[in-house]
Chain A
Amino acid sequence: MKRRARPQGWLSDVDPTASAIGSTAAVLLTAAIYAGSRGLRNFDAALIGYATATIFLAFGVTYRYVVWVQSPPTRRYLVKGWKAFLSWRNFRRFPTLVPKAVVSNLAFQTFIKERGMGRWAAHQALFWGVVGATLITFPLTFGWIHFRSAAGTESHYEMYIFGIKTVTFDALSWLGWLTFRGLDITAVLVIAGCAYFLWRRFRDREAMTGQHLAHDLMPLIALVAISVTGLLLTFSSALLKGRYYDFLALLHMGTVVLTLVFIPFGKFFHVIQRPASIGVQIYKRTSLEDKGPFHCKRCGAAFETQTYVEDLEETMSELGLGFEGWAEHCPRCKRVERGIAYRAHVKEGF
């Protein structure tokens, strides 16, 4: 009997649980938009395309996430990771573990630096560009934030969050400039990052091995398209006195909507997955303290934690693999044992 591998990131069969949770997420987001925009009073109707796409995105990402965490290895890490994270005892023992991991793994992705400085710099530009753009645009499209020009001034604006007036600022000041040019800055960052990665995708044979148009090139092209059309909007309003603005706005919205809908299916899903690495780190670190390291059954070298090996064996048996015991030997010993057995039972020499 051949067992099939789990589907690699595509929705093969519709999962009812995931559908239900995904729909709930979409409904919740809709409700939040309604409430946050004060019953749609602050909602900019021109941005309805974005908001709708985001609601679909909420469904898709949640659906995909639920399917993902249901597999035995993922579920086990999810549960163990959260348990370790929420443990007060762990917090007292390793107060800096989580903040450090969040900063180095999620914010600054230092592990990418080890793969190459260029890749790290490009990924950082891309990352901060996207994060900045998301923080600016999502609340705007949801109507959670809006601006009004302050009465009686020429360049002063008032910012409203959830319909509540917060600060007033001068659009000509550097803060004002930053606020209104924020998306231009993030667009430049994103284009710079993508340019590097596109170069890599076309020139570097390391990156080119096994790459796919849909999986590896489309995401980069989509991000560049969003950024370029976004910058064209600024170009139109600043230098062309708004000519072609409507057309460009539509084009921009088109690229954004397509990209948002694509997120759950492709490469961008790693953004949702990456925090799991923190869970794994906490889990491994705390389980080392709890039950100690695991020693290879053959050579005696410590190679993982006791808990880890037990959990992996459970995962393997849930998957019906049938050679769980092998996990108790370090990789080298597994190979050496196989070599010894080959010499003893298959043939010794030539």
Chain B
Amino acid sequence: MKGSRRGTIEKAPGIGDFRQAGAQPAAGWTTHEKDERLVPTHCCFCGVQCGMYLRVSTDGRVFGVEPRDHDINKMKLCPKGVTAYQQVNHPDRLTQPLMRSQRGEPLRPVSWDEALDRVVSEIRRIQETYGHDAFGVYSGSSMTTEKTYLVGKFARVALGTANVDYNGRLCMVSAGAGNKKAFNVDRAANPWSDMLLTDVILVAGANVAECFPVMTQYFWAARDRGAKLITVDPRETALARTADIHVGLRPGTDAAFFNGVLHVIERDGLIDERFIAERTVGWDEVRDVVADYTPERAGNICGLDPALIEKVARMWGEADKAMAFHARGIEHHIQGVGNVLTVIDLVLATGQIGAPGKGYGTITGQGNGQGGREHGQKCDQLPGQRSIDDPEARSYVAQVWGIDESELPQKGLTAVEIIHAAEAGDVKGLIGLCNNPLVSMPKGNRIRRGYDALEFHCQLDFFLSETAERADVVLPTTAWAEDEGVTTNAEGRIVKHNKATEPPEGVRTDWWVICEIARRLGRHADKFSFDSPRAIFEELRVASKGGFADYHGVTYERIEETGGIFWPCPSEDHPGTPRLFEDRFFHPDGKARFTAVKWIPPAEEPDEEFPMRLTTGRTVAHYLSGNQTRRIGALVEQAPRPWVEIHPSLGFANGDPVKVVTRRGEVTYPALVVSTIRPDTAFVPYHWASPAAANDLTVDDLDPTSKIPEFKVCACRLEQGAEVTVVPLPPVEPGKTPYSDEMGSTDDRRPPTAPQGRGTAR
């Protein structure tokens, strides 16, 4: 039954409209299924990877969701998780390959053969004309580990290109680089259940309540047991609202803050000298650097009261057990790796790692952000989190893949660099999958120029994204419920997504498409004869064996039996490793590395012309570039459009059209005026497309090590605008009416009630 507001009976006055119109799932509701199957699986969205059951009708249709008591989430779900199933039968789904013969022409449906032949002939032409590396692959981390493994293998073996990278480069890669440097392994050190054993939790740059809502229960459970909470964020988020200490620092000053905290801890003798001596290397240099970061100086840089820094230092330093978490807030900076290392320095100096209730971890953002970066789709890594520079790793992986080591390309360009290289004419062709850089990459205009300069661009997706819309060939692939495979959540726990339904007619799995292109290309075609995700996983287990992220002992069956296995898990009788570093760190000498970090200002500092700082982030109703969530009625209703969040002292009224101007562009947003943000900072959520895209405003300076863009701070100016910039509807293939049109709320001009969206009406 599909409700509507088309009633025409003569209405008496009263309160009528309660939220329901926009909240209808596109495929309608079913309440009369005779029998249903509950298929256990996990959410397709963030790195928490909540367990859930999909409700499947007798004729194999996914029609609902039921909570699942999985170890990770204990039945809890966020609004994205609850509505995730609505993607499966969505009318906007792509169901046939689309192609255009040249740019400017509309996309038209073609057969799989025609589309794949075109892809293959373009790859051949470009690689023959410009060299192997002129054809790149840009992948993503919201798909199963099997697929991400296959992408890396495909690029190196079938294409022979060095230029393969993935969208984790826009996500947590600074944390990965920092962890690698300090611990020689890139994984959160503890399971979240350790939070129940700790006394102090510090969260830096993570809007947990909105980006990982289900993780909040661990924080609350810890606090029920008496733990204290410290939050570090320029905005007083829903988690920060109740924190024991909230540090509302200036965006882009995290390293100075953590150096300041460590300064006080060192000054007051709260460091763990024994731990430092026995288990770490490099403390002296750090001590010398933090000596310069007195609370006064750090407070001055961060725009904080020095007393607050002292307070945080005392709470952390005096804690028996403490845990630190961080996310994109400190990672999306040109000093992203440095910021991460200052947190790690703090953890190491106080010995708060490698024991129950003592720990540290980044909160990975994407569904398979962890698994997706472990098995070789990063430009600098091979399966098992092995470095592509390591001769031993190269020869092992080459042997597993059955190729000569010399055929294995070296390190290639990173994500944003690939698109910039396209703009410069160095990369001529690209296969993109599981990403939407036209919304998600910084400085949107330049990214659009890069894509436009490509001679050939093929994109795989299950909805026509803003990026796919501009491609030469679009290949329709499966949604998460239509295929199986493993993912690894933010804790490092490997879980399995199960297949709940058959894909729509005309849709293929991503792995089939990749294998088919490889087969048609002919180069090592026999290395891509996989017939199932399981076959890929079996090879992955071998390829990761002996690496850092060792999956060798993990099987589909063991995952089903246990509810998830933490890597490293070298053999089938190994229980997995929930807590890392209890005995040793992953460096050859077993010790962790301190790194002294001097704070450097962001790439673009405010000046007279652009006096404010602009920061970007997520809102709870949407996920990444919004290609999925902007099509789900309930989520669109909760957050139909972006806004600019500003402090009341700036003189704008709530709902005013406020033009946000940077050196890259300008967008007019409705103002959400809140006293929970710093007066010198404006916030815009980034899930929407140009001309309303936050990334039309951001800078594209990169961290020199991790190559992560500085999404979290740039300089901007606010002006009274005239008209709020209208949000474009999510693209659909030519001839289709977008479902979002029916929802009718995309032309909404109002700001939300709160950062979390619009409250229920009346």
Interface residues, chain A, with chain B CB atoms under 8 Å away: 97, 100-101, 104-105, 110-111, 114-116, 118-119, 200, 203-206, 280-281, 284-285, 288, 293, 302-305, 330-332, 348-350
Contact = CB atoms under 8 A, between A and B. Distances in A.
Given A204-B32, A331-B762, A332-B759, 15 more contacts: A104-B9, A104-B10, A105-B9, A110-B8, A115-B1, A118-B1, A205-B32, A206-B32, A281-B12, A293-B13, A304-B13, A304-B14, A332-B762, A350-B220, A350-B223
A206 B33 CA distance: 11
Contacts of B8: 110
B7 A111 contact: yes
A100 B10 CA distance: 8
B3 A203 contact: no
Nearest to A105: B9
A206 B762 CA distance: 24
Nearest to B223: A350
Contact of B242 (A97, A331, A350): A350
Given A111-B9, A332-B762, A206 B14 contact: no
A330 B761 CA distance: 11
B31 interface: yes
B736 interface: no
A349 B242 contact: yes
A199 B672 CA distance: 49
A111 B9 CA distance: 8
Nearest to A333: B762
B241 interface: yes
B14 A284 contact: yes
A311 to B, nearest CB: 14
Given A104-B9, A114-B3, A204 B761 contact: no
Interface in B19-71: 31-32, 34
B3 A284 contact: no
Contacts of B241: 349
Contacts of A305: 13
Nearest to B8: A110
Given A114-B4, A349-B242, A331 B13 contact: no
Residue with the highest number of chain A CB atoms closer than 10 Å, among B9, B241, B759, B761: B9
A303 B9 contact: no
A203 B34 contact: yes
A204 B223 CA distance: 43
B15 A331 contact: yes
A288 B10 CA distance: 14
Contacts of A348: 242
Contacts of B34: 203
A345 to B, nearest CB: 17
Interface residues on B, range: 20 to 34
Contacts of A101: 9-10
A90 B4 CA distance: 31
Nearest to A111: B9
Nearest to A285: B12
A298 to B, nearest CB: 13
A303 B14 contact: yes
Contacts of B220: 350
Nearest to A277: B12
A350 B243 CA distance: 8
Q: Helix, strand, loop or mixed for chain B's interface?
A: loop
B32 A303 contact: no
Nearest to B241: A349
A332 B14 CA distance: 14
Contacts of B31: 204-206
A203 to B, nearest CB: 4
Contacts of B13: 284-285, 288, 293, 302, 304-305
Contact of B7 (A114, A284, A332): A114
B9 A110 contact: yes
Contact of A303 (B12, B15, B242, B759): B15
A350 B32 CA distance: 41
A206 B15 CA distance: 24
Contacts of A330: 15, 762
Contacts of A284: 12-14
Contacts of B3: 114-115
Interface in B743-762: 759, 761-762
Nearest to B1: A116
Interface in B220-235: 220, 223
14 contacts: A101-B9, A101-B10, A105-B9, A119-B1, A200-B32, A203-B32, A205-B31, A205-B32, A281-B10, A281-B12, A288-B12, A303-B14, A348-B242, A350-B242
Contact of B10 (A97, A204, A332): A97
Most chain A CB within a 10 A radius of its CB, from B4, B10, B220: B10
B223 A332 contact: no
A14 B241 CA distance: 59
A97 B31 CA distance: 36
A266 B14 CA distance: 30
B203 to A, nearest CB: 14
A332 B242 contact: no
Contacts of B9: 100-101, 104-105, 110-111
A280 B9 CA distance: 14
Nearest to A205: B31
Contacts of A293: 13
Contacts of B1: 115-116, 118-119
Nearest to A115: B1
Nearest to B12: A284
- 10 closest A-B pairs by beta carbon, nearest first, are A349-B242, A284-B12, A350-B242, A116-B1, A204-B32, A206-B31, A203-B32, A205-B31, A104-B9, A281-B12
A281 B15 CA distance: 14
A110 B4 CA distance: 13
A304 B14 CA distance: 5
A105 B9 CA distance: 8
A303 B13 CA distance: 7
Interface string B188-221: 0000000000000000000000000000000010
A116 B220 CA distance: 43
Nearest to B2: A116
Contacts of A100: 9-10
Nearest to A350: B242
Contacts of B762: 330-332
Contacts of B7: 110-111, 114
B12 A280 contact: yes
A174 B631 CA distance: 56
A303 B17 CA distance: 11
